[in-house]
Amino acid sequence: MYKILVIEPLHPEALQLIDARNDVSYQLVTDVSEENILAHIEDADALTIRVSTLPVKALQKGKKLKVVSRHGVGYDNIPLDECNRLGIPLALVGSVNSIAVSEQTIFLMMAAAKLGAIFNQGVKIGNFGIRSKYRPMELNEKKLLIVGFGKIGREVAKRAQALGMDILVYDPYQKPDENDLKVLPSLEEGLEIADVITLHLPLTPETKYLIGRKELAILKDKAILVNTSRGGIIDENALHETLCTGKLHGVGLDVFEEEPVHPDNPILSHDRVIVSPHSSALTDDTLKAMGMMTVQNALNAIDGCLDPALVVNPDVL
């Protein structure tokens, strides 16, 4: 009997995929302390994990592990170097969350452009005259810089084109298929000319603080910055300083350097910042799809047919 260690709950229909197998069982772990994970991992053939940090010691103790199946597309909570050293593949869910995240990106972009948070609060407290104090932005014919052109970036491009936006792309690792999209040779060139910038990158040593003081200084006055990828890609101290100058029209954030974000985070004090609680992919449809793909990756690894296209480190296969 094979065992899948399920770290953090998954969608019930995803767990039914395991129940349908008579050669595989699972153990659900809700206490994600290192001590508790270590107590249950030794006999696991595969593990699934959502947002908690996977301890290095857990990988070292999981002698039977055939895969770490991550419920998502980011993997900064997984010690990839140790996975590589031990020859354990790290599998992701692929494009199943791309629609939900791209929709949230457009929502934050439009809310920032139209000053949704400011007007909403003003009307609710009886200040209808706030309409004369602020001016929203039109997105039609504005330049949108998409930084990172994977599945999510491509879905954002489709939706932004429907809004009449001029799409620019910066991604040193991928070339867009669409012939009418302009691919830029450098991030700086895009930051200088874009009206809206949206980030769709994993958090790696190379992307940490990709948007810092230097990059924020390059932005056009009254630009909009949106991040639905990972918080550490933006230097929040630098962003706070930039917001204090009044340079930016608006900012939309679904992610933060530290999560849960603390109420005293100075970023939250700016009325031109609209936020959500890292919830882009947390729709019912996407949670089900992510859960099922997470479990399927675990089962495929047990069966010896893991899809290399979904593996971060395919060299270990």
Of 70, 230, 249, 270, which is the active-site residue?
A: 230
Among the listed residues 174, 164, 158, the one whose alpha carbon sits nearest the alpha carbon of residue 99: 158
Q: How far apart are CA 101 and CA 280, in angstroms?
A: 5
Q: Please report the domains of the chain, with CATH numbers, ordered by start residue.
A: 2-96+284-316 (3.40.50.720), 98-275 (3.40.50.720)
For the CA atoms of 137, 138, 141, 146, what is the dihedral angle to 10 degrees? 60
Residue 20 contacts by C-beta under 8 Å, 6 or more apart in sequence? none
In 3-state terms, the chain is what percent helix, strand and coil (to 5)?
40, 15, 45
The whole-model pTM stands at 0.87
For residue 178, the model assigns a pLDDT of 64
Active site residue 188: no
Among the listed residues 81, 85, 44, the one whose alpha carbon sits nearest the alpha carbon of residue 61: 44
The residue ranges of the chain whose pLDDT is under 70 are 176-179
For the beta sheet containing 46-49, the strands, ordered from the edge strand earlier in sequence to the opposite edge, are 24-29, 2-7, 46-49, 68-70, 90-91
pLDDT tens digits, 128-178: 999 999 999 999 999 999 999 999 999 999 999 999 999 999 998 877 666
**Within a 13 Å sphere around the CA of 176, how many CA atoms are in the beta-carbon half?**
24
Of 85, 258, 259, 262, which is the active-site residue?
A: 259
Q: How far apart are CA 62 and CA 39, in angstroms?
A: 10
Contact 190, 218 (CB under 8 A): no
Among the listed residues 281, 280, 279, 253, the one whose alpha carbon sits nearest the alpha carbon of residue 265: 253
For residue 16, the model assigns a pLDDT of 97
| 3-state secondary structure (DSSP) of residue 79 | coil
| 3-state secondary structure (DSSP) of residue 57 | helix
| 3-state secondary structure (DSSP) of residue 71 | coil
Active site residue 21: no
Q: How far apart are CA 133 and CA 138, in angstroms?
A: 17
Active site residue 230: yes
Burial string for 103-118 (b: 16+ CB within 10 Å, else e) reads bbbbbbbbbbbbbbbb
